[in-house]
């Protein structure tokens, strides 16, 4: 039973998607299906945790996509963290979606829920992939099934254009960089399996792969994974913000971008082998690339007035933390990166939920319009504050733990550039998040008459909290962010398990 579970985790959302299509006409039933599917998925994923703590499980081969490379899945700690987050947050996100989609009277809701279920299925596939080909296939599938979500407001030119940017960058990078890297790995080593220490050991030892080629393949992988939003391949992320907020929240703060950084970590750990990189003096540049990406994205975020765009740039910078963790090329850094995958997920989804909540209740999208909104939407803005704290890395939130681990890893391995980046970016994070909180709670709301002539959406008309499902979801994720601070054991154990397995 346990053996078949990764397949179960992929099958559940697929079955759910089919049921969503069947029940599409009756929306209560359809949304109940979504919630039940999400619940089942979390249970199925949670049942895998004990297996994951023991390290990579035996591989399950499904199909032979290519004669010698099967579509295969296994359970290992890093993927477990990712799967756990995605499946757990899917429940909250579904609750939130119900409130948001109904509250804003969005069209094509069945398509929305279907694509969501399919995206989660691809995410599960990525999380449990046992070789590079499986990861690549699921990665591309994820790009494709999220495309209809990004272009949800399709006939609008803005949505179509955003869809082009989104798909264009993601697919171009993966096809032009990641695919040759993958095929190259296959050609030179004869294996694409994810194993501890990577597959390059032999080829490097007998000299059939020169170190520069090894480094080049690593380079192709790192930039090929555009979902990790390493600058300059980050443009798709702000573009994707035209999608409805639940999409931005779960996919572009959690599932899709985490697919990117997860792939970065997984490939560095299991396919390339960070110890090999360190041994052959390759890949050191990644630390600097990621560090620059962190600071630059934070800096850009400072000047964004659109709340979702500011959050998007914040995501770019936070993702590069994770890449930076991987780029430290040692187990401690990788562990911190794994931890930050979890920590950032809870924080960022809370922020996006809050942004959507504000949009639903008050129809406001800009930071400058948020004066005094905290008094009308105390729950939302309270949750928002917790999310901000987590982003900045202050206790009592999950962000503190992971940032602490990152800093610790940087200190112990004497990578002072990383230390500097962490400090500067923390200051920048504070600089772009705290003013929002300040506005929301400590400034007086604008007088009702002043704004009414500006916008047709009754900006100044008194409004209260968002619909209850939204509030439930947003407080729920905020609570998660805080809980992980007090009880980090699940994620920390998995991260430790990951570190233990790595050769030093």
**Among residues 132, 267, 276, 281, which one has the least CA distance to residue 204?**
276
183 touching other proteins, by CB under 8 A: yes
By the rule CB under 8 A, 141 interacts with other proteins: yes
Residue pointed to by tokens 């980090």? 488
Regarding 106 and contact with other proteins (CB under 8 A), the answer is no
Binding piece for other proteins, criterion CB under 8 A, among 182-190, 312-320, 360-368, 429-437: 182-190
Q: Which of these segments, 149-157, 241-249, 285-293, 306-314, binds other proteins (CB under 8 A)? A: 149-157
Give the single-character DSSP code of 413. Answer: T
User: Pick from 2, 18, 22, 154: which binds other proteins (CB under 8 A)?
Assistant: 154
Among 179, 195, 431, 451, binds other proteins (CB under 8 A): 179
Whole-number Å distance between alpha carbons of 281 and 286: 12
Query: Residue from 66, 423, 427, 458 that binds other proteins (CB under 8 A)?
Result: 66
- Give the residue, chosen from 1, 25, 28, 63, that forms a contact with other proteins under the rule CB under 8 A: 63
Locus of tokens 């090999």: 276
**Least CB distance to other proteins at residue 163 (A):** 8
Q: Does 21 bind other proteins (CB under 8 A)?
A: no
**Cα gap 165→157, rounded to integer Å:** 12
Q: Which of 501, 498, 499 is nearest to 80 (CA)?
A: 498
Q: Kindly state whether residue 176 participates in binding other proteins, applying the rule CB under 8 A.
A: yes
Regarding 144 and contact with other proteins (CB under 8 A), the answer is yes
492 binds other proteins (CB under 8 A): no
The distance of closest approach from Cβ of residue 232 to other proteins in the complex, given in angstroms and rounded to an integer, is: 17
Instruction: State both tokens at 179.
Output: 């695919």
> Which of 180, 382 has the CB closer to other proteins?
180
Site for other proteins (CB under 8 A): which residue of 61, 106, 140, 465? 140
Beta carbons of 331 and 499 less than 8 angstroms apart: yes
Triad 398, 247, 231: Cα angle to 5° = 70
E strand intervals along 248-340: none
Q: Does 167 bind other proteins (CB under 8 A)?
A: yes
**Selected binder of other proteins within 15, 21, 53, 171 (CB under 8 A):** 171
Tokens for 167, please give them: 């798909």
Is residue 430 packed enough to be buried (19+ CB in 10 Å), middle (13-18) or exposed (0-12)? middle
Q: Does 172 bind other proteins (CB under 8 A)?
A: yes
State which residue, 167 or 294, has the beta carbon closest to other proteins.
167
Q: Which residue among 32, 65, 278, 419 contacts other proteins (CB under 8 A)?
A: 65
Distance CA 45, CA 124 (A): 9
Q: Judged by CB, which is closer to other proteins: 282, or 426?
A: 282
Distances, alpha carbon 352 to alpha carbons 96, 168, 228, 252, 256, in Å: 11, 24, 18, 9, 14
| Site stretch for other proteins (CB under 8 A), options 10-18, 82-90, 171-179, 281-289 | 171-179
Q: Look up tokens 């500097």; give the residue.
A: 420
Residue whose entry in the numeric block shows the structure tokens 């296994």: 74
Angle at 175 (CA atoms; ends 84, 251), nearest 5 degrees: 30
Count of helix runs (H) and strand runs (E) in the chain? 24, 2
Identify the residue among 180, 396, 408, 446 touching other proteins (CB under 8 A): 180
The one segment of 53-61, 112-120, 181-189, 204-212 that binds other proteins by CB under 8 A = 181-189
Decide whether 8 or 167 has the Cβ nearer to other proteins: 167
In angstroms, how far is the first alpha carbon of the chain from the final one? Answer: 34
71 three-class SS = strand
Give the residue with the Cβ less far from other proteins, 154 or 302. 154
Q: Which chain residues interact with other proteins by CB under 8 A?
A: 63-67, 71, 136-137, 140-141, 144, 151, 154-155, 160, 163-164, 167-168, 171-172, 175-176, 179-180, 183-184, 186-188
């Amino acid at each position: 039973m346990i053996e078949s579970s990764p397949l179960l985790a992929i099958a559940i959302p697929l079955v759910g998607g089919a049921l969503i299509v069947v029940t599409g006409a009756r929306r209560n039933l359809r949304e109940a299906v979504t919630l039940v599917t999400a619940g089942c998925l979390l249970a199925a994923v949670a049942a895998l945790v004990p297996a994951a703590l023991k390290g990579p499980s035996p591989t399950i081969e499904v199909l032979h996509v290519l004669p010698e490379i099967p579509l295969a899945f296994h359970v290992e700690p890093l993927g477990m963290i990712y799967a756990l987050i995605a499946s757990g947050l899917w429940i909250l996100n579904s609750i939130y979606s119900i409130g948001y989609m109904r509250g804003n009277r969005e069209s094509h809701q069945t398509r929305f829920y279907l694509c969501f279920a399919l995206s989660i299925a691809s995410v599960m596939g990525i999380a449990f992939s046992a070789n590079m080909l499986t990861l690549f296939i699921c990665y591309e599938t994820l790009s494709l099934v999220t495309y209809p979500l990004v272009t949800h407001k399709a006939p609008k030119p803005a949505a179509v254009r955003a869809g082009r940017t989104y798909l264009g960058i993601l697919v171009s990078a993966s096809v032009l960089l990641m695919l040759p890297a993958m095929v190259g790995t296959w050609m030179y080593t004869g294996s694409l399996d994810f194993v501890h220490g990577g597959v390059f050991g032999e080829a490097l030892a007998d000299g059939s792969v020169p170190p520069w080629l090894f480094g080049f393949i690593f380079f192709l992988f790192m930039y090929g994974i555009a979902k990790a939003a390493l600058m300059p391949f980050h443009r798709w992320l702000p573009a994707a913000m035209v999608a409805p907020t639940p999409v931005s929240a779960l996919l572009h703060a959690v599932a899709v971008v985490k697919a990117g950084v997860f792939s970065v970590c997984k490939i560095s750990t299991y396919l390339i082998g960070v110890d090999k990189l360190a041994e052959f003096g390759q890949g050191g540049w990644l630390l600097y690339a990621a560090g620059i990406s962190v600071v630059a994205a934070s800096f850009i975020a400072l000047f964004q007035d659109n709340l979702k765009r500011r959050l998007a740039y914040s995501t770019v910078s936070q993702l590069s933390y994770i890449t930076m963790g991987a780029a430290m090329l040692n187990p401690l850094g990788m562990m911190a990166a794994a931890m930050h995958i979890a920590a950032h997920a809870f924080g960022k989804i809370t922020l996006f939920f809050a942004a959507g909540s504000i949009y639903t209740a008050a129809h406001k999208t800009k930071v400058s319009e948020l004066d005094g909104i905290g008094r009308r939407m105390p729950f939302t803005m309270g949750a928002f504050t917790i999310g901000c704290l987590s982003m900045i890395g202050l206790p009592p939130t999950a962000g503190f733990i992971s940032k602490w681990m990152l800093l610790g890893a940087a200190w112990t391995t004497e990578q002072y550039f990383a230390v500097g980046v962490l400090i500067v970016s923390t200051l920048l994070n504070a600089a772009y998040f705290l003013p929002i909180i300040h506005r929301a709670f400590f400034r007086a709301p604008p007088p009702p008459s002043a704004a009414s002539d500006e916008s047709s959406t009754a900006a100044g008309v008194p409004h209260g909290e968002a619909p209850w499902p939204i509030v439930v979801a947003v407080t729920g994720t905020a609570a998660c962010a805080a809980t992980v601070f007090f009880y980090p054991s699940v994620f920390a154990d998995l991260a430790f398990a990951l570190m233990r397995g790595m050769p030093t």
